[in-house]
Structure 1
Amino acid sequence: MNGENTDLRETVRRRYAEAALKVAEGGTACCGPEPTEVDENFGSTLYGDDERGALPVEAVAASLGCGNPTAVAGLREGERVLDLGSGGGIDVLLSARRVGPTGKAYGLDMTDEMLQLALANARKAGAANVEFLKGTIEAIPLPANSVDVVISNCVINLSTDKPDVFAETFRVLRPGGRIGLCDVVADDTLTPERRAERGDHVGCMAGALSFAEYRRGLEAAGFTDIEITPTHAVADGMYSALVRATRPRQSAAAQLPVPPAGP
Structure 2
Amino acid sequence: MQETTLKKGQTDIQDNVRQYYGETLTGSVDLQTNACCTDAGLPNYVKPILSQVHDEVLMRYYGCGLVLPELLDGLTILDLGCGAGRDVYVLSKLVGEQGRVIGVDMTEEQLAVARQHQDHHRQVFGHAESNVLFLHGYIERLHELDLADNSVDIIVSNCVINLAVDKAAVLREAFRVLKPGGELYFSDVYADRRIPKALTLDPVLYGECLSGALYWNDFHNLAKAHGFDDPRLIVDRPITIGNTELAARTGNIKFFSATYRLFKLAGLEPACEDYGQSVVYRGTIPHHPHAFVLDKHHFIETGKQFPVCGNTWRMLHDTRFAKHFDFYGNFDKHFGIFAGCGSTLPYDGNASDQTGGCC
Whether 2:111 is the aligned partner of 1:120: answer no
Give 1:152 shift.
Answer: 0.2
State whether structure 2 residue 211 is matched by structure 1 residue 209. no
Q: 1:5 to 1:154 in 2, by over 3 A?
A: same
**Higher relative helix content:** 1
Q: 1:229, 1:241 within 8 Å by CA — same for their partners in 2?
A: yes
Residues 166, 195 of structure 1: alpha-carbon distance in 2 compared, 3 angstrom cutoff: farther
Distance 1:250 1:145, change over 3 A: farther
Q: 1:19 to 1:107 in 2, by over 3 A?
A: farther
Matched, 1:43 2:40: no
Partner residue in 2 for 1:244: 261
Aligned mates of 1:62, 1:52 — CA distance in 2: 14
Q: Bigger relative contact order, structure 1 or 2, given CA contacts below 8 A and separation 6+?
A: 1
Task: Using the TM superposition, give the Cα deviation of residue 38 of structure 1 relative to its aligned residue in structure 2, in angstroms.
Answer: 7.0
* Structure 1 unaligned spans of 5+: 23-27, 31-35, 253-263
Q: Aligned with 1:69: secondary structure? A: coil
2:188 aligned residue: 183
Q: 1:227, CA displacement in angstroms?
A: 0.9
Q: 1:219 aligns with which of 221, 224, 237?
A: 224
Partner of 2:83: 87
| Contact 1:152-1:182 within 8 A present in 2 as well | yes
- In the alignment, the residues of structure 2 paired with residue 7 and residue 195 of structure 1 have an alpha-carbon distance, to the nearest angstrom, of 14
**Post-superposition offset of 1:40:** 5.1
Superposed CA deviations along residues 189-241 of structure 1, whole A, max 9, x for unmatched, are: x2312993997212101111121111111111101331134521114611110
The CA RMSD measured in Å over matched residues stands at 2.5
Deviation at 1:51? 4.0
Give 2:61's match in structure 1, choosing from 51, 60, 63.
Answer: 63
> Could you tell me whether the CA contact under 8 Å between 1:185 and 1:238 is conserved in 2?
yes
Matches within 5 A, 1:25-174: 28-29=27-28, 36-37=30-31, 42-43=36-37, 45-46=39-40, 47=42, 49-70=47-68, 73-126=69-122, 128-140=130-142, 141=145, 142-174=147-179
Scaled by the length of structure 1, what TM-score is found?
0.82
Conserved? CA contact 2:39–2:65, under 8 Å: no
Paired with 2:157 and 2:175, the residues of 1 have a C-alpha distance of 14
Greater Rg, structure 1 or structure 2? Answer: 2
Structure 2: tracts of 5 or more residues without a match: 1-5, 241-252, 270-359
- Contact 2:102/2:135 (<8 A) preserved: yes
| Identity among equivalent pairs (%) | 32
The one-letter code matched in structure 2 to 1:4 is G
- 1:193 corresponding residue in structure 2: 196
Superposition misfits of 4+ residues, deviation over 4 angstroms: 38-41, 249-252
Contact 1:139 1:168 in 2 (8 A): yes
Taking the aligned partners of 2:102 and 2:65, their CA distance within structure 1 comes to 19
CA contact (8 A) 2:39 2:64 kept: no
The CA deviation at 1:249 is 5.4
| Cα distance in structure 2, aligned partners of 1:111 and 1:87 | 7
